[in-house]
Amino acid sequence: MRFWIVCFISIVALWGAEGYNGKSLILTLPSPSGVVVTADKNISVLSHPLDKMKGIAIIPIDYYAPESEQNLTWIAPGQEMNITLDIHSATYPTEVLSVDPSKVTPPPEVLERIELERTQAYAIYNHFTPIRYWNKPFIRPIDSITTSAYGSARTYNDTLKSYHGGIDFRALTPTPIQAANDGIVVLAQERYYSGGTIIIDHGEGLYSCYFHLSRFDVKVGDYVTQGQAIALSGASGRITGPHLHFGIMVHGVQTDPLDLMEQIDHLFVTQKEQ
């Protein structure tokens, strides 16, 4: 006996979307299923926080992504949609910083440690936990002014060129730091560049990071709630002075945390309120 499997694929529409390097793009989709296929990864479609019949895909655009046109495809059972993503260049400031020379040219004996810490961090960031802990908009981890924006093109001690992968808040040591949203603590450790470091898994590919801390008030495996005091700020790691560095990772990519928080805020606003 022969079985014929007939698969009906409907091309829903051809969409156009715009994005910027270092920012995130949140697509709203007709159903909460499937994946969005990008040039280098498959991004799981999540349920819309206010309308469980709709889907969202949070697509991080790498800081180094060139101006280009990319083709994305949403693939779900019985449905397929092609989306053209136009990536534009965002404008970021430049910064010149002076830090301890050992944090620019590390001594040979710490190179292995640095590589291990980097590998460990990216293994965490690339892990997708299929549970939503972020059931509300994110909040800032400290009530303070920002001293350095995400994306600044940085030169350390006239030699090392890099970019700022998060946002810095003014924080005299020791200031209590709060969790930006509910989640599970997946790292609480002293690290070479980021100093006292906490990473929280908010589920569905979202992680928040808190660097240069002087004390941990939580440990790995703890469930934390939004606003909970998790640590005290400090001046550990590669720094020019005491502050809090705060970052958000989206599917393994460090994107502008304030931009993402604003877009997530928007998801929680009903159409009536808009």
Instruction: Report the site for Zn ion in 156-215 (rule: CB under 5 A).
Output: 168
Q: At 24, which amino acid appears?
A: S
Binding flag, residue 256, Zn ion (CB under 5 A): no
Q: Report the residue number whose CB is nearest to Zn ion.
A: 245
Stretch that binds Zn ion, among 61-69, 180-188, 201-209, 245-253 (CB under 5 A): 245-253
Q: At 227, which amino acid appears?
A: G
CB of 171 to Zn ion, least distance (A): 11
Q: Contact 245/231 with Cβ under 8 angstroms?
A: no
Helix (H) or strand (E) holding 259: helix 257-267
Q: At 262, which amino acid appears?
A: E
Binding flag, residue 251, Zn ion (CB under 5 A): no
CA distance 114 to 111: 5
CA distance 8 to 77: 9
CA distance 179 to 198: 10
Binding flag, residue 245, Zn ion (CB under 5 A): yes
Token digits for 224?
A: 């934390």
Per the DSSP assignment, residues forming a β-bridge with 88 are 20
Token digits for 17?
A: 């979307």
User: In terms of CB distance, is 120 or 240 closer to Zn ion?
Assistant: 240
CB of 152 to Zn ion, least distance (A): 9
Number of residues this chain uses to bind Zn ion (CB under 5 A): 2
DSSP for residue 204:
T
Stretch that binds Zn ion, among 88-96, 193-201, 242-250, 251-259 (CB under 5 A): 242-250
User: In terms of CB distance, is 19 or 195 closer to Zn ion?
Assistant: 195
User: In terms of CB distance, is 23 or 245 closer to Zn ion?
Assistant: 245
x/- string (CB under 5 A) for Zn ion, residues 123-162?
----------------------------------------
* Contacting positions for Zn ion (CB under 5 A): 168, 245
